[in-house]
Chains A and B, each alone.
Chain A
């Protein structure tokens, strides 16, 4: 059976590459160069395209009014069109209906209905952020933590729910009380806004600030770097630890690259499945960065505990809240390390 599948896959691969698909990525207003979300997706597309020998191109959107024309133009030229970012949800559904022969992939997009030519990828951001929250709570010396969000849209909020749940878990298991300072930039593009918020949170006494704010968050990392030890930033989406080695405690990763890679392959291999695909820790869709520069700053016991927590999330023993209601009702399970 396996052999047959492999054969079919190989044949379709041959057939498809003979046609040479063209993959288009339409960015949201964040655009490429955000060092997180858009860049991550693009990396996944490029990797898949190189593997399969496909053509790729991207289109950047400058305002919301660009979404429909950009997606339409891309659909005319391309066979697979990526719409990257939650803000494009409505435009994606409108345009996909006009181009039934083009495959549309939405990253960070959720549709309420299933459309034949749209596959969307979502993430359990809360699961990675949960581990990050636990770590931050263990590392903070001032017992104050910060959070900088982009715009309060569901994917950003899911990072916060997980972060808060992680902090709460540490508090209850270790009898510590931690204050959380929250702020939103109402923007994903301007690092200056992220920096202003981080500087303010540091001034209020926070010593670690987690950002879920795209390009805006690059300013948070910059603020932590300028402050120096013992202040930390926490990165998001991709492994941002390298951006200020030693001053980015860790990154709450969301493997948009894995999703993009899988999506391209699914079309090329004929295994395209319309509808929403949700990736969590189990699917390797989210996680915590390997902490290349900061491993030695953290008590090894805490790192072990995080490993244990990760397995508990994988097994489904702990369910991390993904809504405000679930967060309010979140009860820290009894865990014996």
Chain B
């Protein structure tokens, strides 16, 4: 057991190190110094309160979409509609947040977050129902629902919700719905959103590892037929899983509006963070605690890469390359695993 935990931790760490090494060859080939590049990257991601704020702000939605996708994976559901669920959560939550002006923050904020989660959960449930009752595969339906969400949000933000000239945007949300800011440096602000997201990750960990219901859910993911034989309703489990996964994605959408200026719904311009959730769940090996670190890694790489562009003129594509290699290595962990086995066996035979 202990061995397994160590191994789960080692695979992503080794993958990141290998990815950084490969990327440094690429940085060398474009005529830059990789050591300088990486030090700028680290300083750019963690070098001061402003940088840490930027990194944590970036990390928040990534962590929540990572949890959304990871939760689905654990129950054997491949939810790749986090993008659409995030958008719908943001949309529904934002509409509530715009109209909640007279309510004090202590009540307004939870109501807004819950509406965002409901938005995501309802959207995901459509795919859940389709899978449970017609067998339609969730990969297909969630992708299709993504597009509906994209177009619906563009319509809302250029039509019914549109205000002012300029970038298509909704009205600003009520002040009482804005998340309290804990850190403000120049134009960068960090709200309490990251703490909410980390708490959600811990709750998910406890649920999956310490409760009967969580155990049932993993059982369905591990072997649905055996689980059904054991008295668990697969249909109910599929719908519940999709709904919870969607609720987490919806939460990613709404905290991004409640906690990040300009505190408006701006349509589907999320930069693909719903899809990033898939990568993050993979790197974190679907473990909520692992996902926290995976989200931090990706957020730090991205914030750091912005600094790398400014200070060393190293193209930001380098981060896509690093991220790609990490995912590739984690996904093909068998290679790493076999290598580890091989060295073990060698050691074993040497001892014999």
Instruction: Decide yes or no whether B218 CB sits under 8 A from chain A.
Output: no
Nearest B-chain residue to A86, judged by Cβ: B167
How far does the alpha carbon of A151 sit from the alpha carbon of B306 in the complex, in Å?
25
Q: Is B186 an interface residue (CB 8 A)?
A: yes
Instruction: With both chains docked as a complex, state the minimum distance between the C-beta of B147 and any C-beta of chain A, in angstroms.
Output: 10
Main secondary structure on chain A at its contact with chain B?
helix
Q: Give 15 CB contacts A-B under 8 Å.
A: A58-B313, A59-B309, A60-B315, A60-B316, A62-B271, A65-B271, A69-B54, A69-B188, A72-B186, A87-B269, A110-B165, A151-B168, A154-B165, A186-B150, A186-B268
B298 to chain A, nearest CB (A): 12
Give chain A's interface residues, CB within 8 Å of chain B: 24, 29, 57-60, 62-66, 68-74, 77, 86-87, 89-91, 94-95, 97-98, 110, 151-154, 184, 186
**Distance from B302 Cβ to chain A, minimum over Cβ atoms (Å):** 7
Given A63-B273, A152-B168, 10 more A-B residue pairs with CB atoms under 8 Å apart are A60-B309, A63-B272, A65-B57, A65-B256, A70-B309, A72-B186, A151-B158, A154-B165, A186-B154, A186-B267
In the bound complex, do residue B186 and residue A29 qualify as a contact, i.e. CB atoms below 8 Å apart?
Answer: no
B350 on the A face (CB < 8 A)? no
Nearest Cβ on chain A to B82's Cβ, whole angstroms: 15
Q: Which of A62, A72, A74, A86 contacts B302 (CB 8 A)?
A: A62
Cα(A337)–Cα(B329), bound, Å: 68
Decide yes or no whether B270 CB sits under 8 A from chain A.
yes
Contact in complex: B309, A153 (CB < 8 Å): no
- Closest chain A CB from B300 CB (angstroms): 13
* Smallest CB separation, B38 vs chain A (Å): 17
Contacts of B311 in A (CB 8 A): 73, 77
Q: How far is the CA of A14 from the CA of B269 in the complex (A)?
A: 44
Contact with A along B156-183 (1 / 0, CB 8 A): 0010000001111000000000000000
Question: Chain B 256-270 against A: per-residue CB contact (8 Å), 1 yes, 0 no?
Answer: 100011100011111
CB distance from A29 to the nearest CB of B (A): 7
- Please provide the 9 A-B residue pairs with the shortest distance between their CB atoms, ordered closest to farther: A63-B271, A73-B310, A59-B309, A186-B154, A98-B186, A69-B54, A95-B187, A94-B187, A68-B187
- Smallest distance from the beta carbon of A92 to chain B beta carbons, Å? 10
Residues B316 and A73 in contact, CB atoms below 8 Å apart = no
The reply to whether B271 and A57 contact each other, CB–CB distance below 8 Å, is no
Chain B proximity of A110: nearest CB distance (Å): 7
Residue B307, interface by CB 8 Å: yes
Q: Contact check, B167 vs A69: say whether CB atoms are below 8 A apart.
A: no
Cross-interface CB contact of A90 among B167, B306, B307, cutoff 8 Å: B167
Q: Nearest chain-A residue to B164 (Cβ)?
A: A112
Which chain B residue has the least Cβ–Cβ distance from A78? Answer: B310
Q: When the two chains form their complex, are residues A64 and B266 in contact, meaning their CB atoms are under 8 A apart?
A: yes
Beta-carbon contact of B306 and A59 below 8 Å? yes
* Complex partner residue of A69 from B166, B262, B273, B306, CB under 8 angstroms: B306
B24 part of interface (Cβ distance < 8 Å): no
Query: Which of B44, B260, B267, B269 lies at the interface centre, i.e. has the most chain A CB atoms within 10 A of its CB?
Result: B269
Q: Is the pair B167, A70 in contact by a Cβ cutoff of 8 Å?
A: no
B74 interface contact, C-beta 8 A: no
Bound Cα distance from A119 to B309, whole angstroms: 24
Query: Is A62 within 8 A of B167, CB to CB?
Result: no
Chain A residues contacting B316 (CB-CB under 8 Å) are 60, 62
> B271 contacts A69, CB within 8 Å?
no
B131 within 8 A of A: no
Find residues 29-60 in chain B having any chain A CB closer than 8 Å to their own CB.
44, 50, 54, 57-58
Q: How far is the CA of A77 from the CA of B307 in the complex (A)?
A: 10
Once the chains are docked, how many angstroms separate the CA of A59 from the CA of B303?
Answer: 12
Asked if B310 and A77 sit within 8 Å, CB to CB, the answer is: yes
A68 vs B267: C-alpha distance when bound (angstroms) = 18
